[in-house]
């Protein structure tokens, strides 16, 4: 991916249009975009690259989801990596082998909303990292679908909407409920967003 030119010398209207066009080109399935993002995204890229998370978990089709990829994260936001796994014992054993020595390492397998999920957690380089494994293609997992829907909504609504989302999150409102509040969605925000 090429490094994009700075927008400082462009007219404000053109800069915003150009920036939106660049953002529309992001491939969230390849973490290289983080390399050219804000400082937190660059640190995330460095951390994930040093750990070789995506290289070591490649056969599970890992995707980074959550708020850091779409720039609505808080200082305490996690790096959430989703994976597709059919054998939870194998997936657990591999994560223990790869990351078991990391700070605050923990791994468990449980029923999460009717879906068997393996969750591996640890800390590295100031980030809490969570690796999720479900027997669902990563592009069809709710974490990825929510992120893509939220990203598209922010592309359509603009920077002011994005700022309002971040302000609600800073007050303690979770991401999906924050979107639901601003979009005036009724019912379960996690389900309602998936309908959009």
Establish if 5 belongs to a structural domain.
Answer: no
Share of the chain above pLDDT 90, in %: 82
| pLDDT band at residue 24 under the 50/70/90 scheme | low
Establish if 2 belongs to a structural domain.
Answer: no
Please give the C-alpha separations between residue 14 and each of 43, 90, 155, 161, in angstroms, as whole numbers. 29, 51, 15, 19
Establish if 6 belongs to a structural domain.
Answer: no
pLDDT tens figures, 90-148? 999 999 999 999 999 999 999 988 899 999 999 999 999 999 999 999 999 999 999 99
pLDDT at 5 (0 to 100):
33
Dihedral of alpha carbons 92, 148, 158, 5, sign: positive
Establish if 75 belongs to a structural domain.
Answer: yes
Looking at residue 35, what DSSP letter applies? G
Question: How far apart, in whole angstroms, are the C-alpha atoms of residue 42 and residue 82?
Answer: 20
Inter-axis angle of helices 142-157 and 159-170, to 10 degrees?
A: 130
| pLDDT band at residue 25 under the 50/70/90 scheme | low
How many other β-carbons are positioned within 10 Å of the β-carbon of residue 121?
Answer: 18
Establish if 4 belongs to a structural domain.
Answer: no
| 1 in Cβ contact with 22 (< 8 Å) | no
pLDDT tens figures, 178-196? 999 999 999 899 999 988 8
Total domain count, the chain: 1
**At residue 2, does pLDDT exceed 50?**
no
Establish if 24 belongs to a structural domain.
Answer: yes
Establish if 7 belongs to a structural domain.
Answer: no
**At residue 149, does pLDDT exceed 70?**
yes
Residue 112 vs residue 45, higher pLDDT: 45
Establish if 3 belongs to a structural domain.
Answer: no
**At residue 1, does pLDDT exceed 80?**
no
Q: Domain of residue 156: give its range.
A: 12-194
Average pLDDT over residues 44-55: 97
What CATH number does residue 94 fall under?
3.30.460.10
């Amino acid at each position: 991916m090429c490094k994009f030119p700075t927008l400082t010398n462009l007219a404000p209207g053109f800069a915003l249009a150009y920036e939106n066009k660049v953002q529309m080109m992001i491939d969230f399935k390849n973490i290289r975009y983080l390399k050219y993002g804000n400082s937190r995204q660059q640190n995330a890229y460095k951390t994930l690259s040093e750990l070789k998370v995506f290289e070591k978990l490649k056969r599970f089709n890992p995707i980074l989801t959550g708020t850091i990829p779409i720039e609505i994260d808080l200082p305490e936001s996690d790096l959430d990596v989703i994976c597709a796994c059919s054998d939870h014992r194998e997936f657990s054993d591999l994560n223990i082998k790869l990351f078991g020595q990391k700070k605050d390492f923990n791994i468990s397998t449980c029923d999460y909303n009717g879906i068997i999920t393996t969750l591996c957690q640890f800390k590295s380089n100031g980030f809490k990292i969570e690796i999720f494994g479900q027997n669902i293609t990563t592009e069809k997992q709710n974490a990825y679908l929510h992120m893509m829907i939220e990203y598209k909504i922010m592309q359509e609504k603009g920077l002011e909407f994005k700022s309002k989302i971040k302000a609600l999150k800073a007050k303690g409102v979770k991401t999906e409920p924050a979107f639901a509040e601003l979009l005036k969605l009724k019912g379960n925000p996690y389900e309602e967003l998936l309908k959009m």
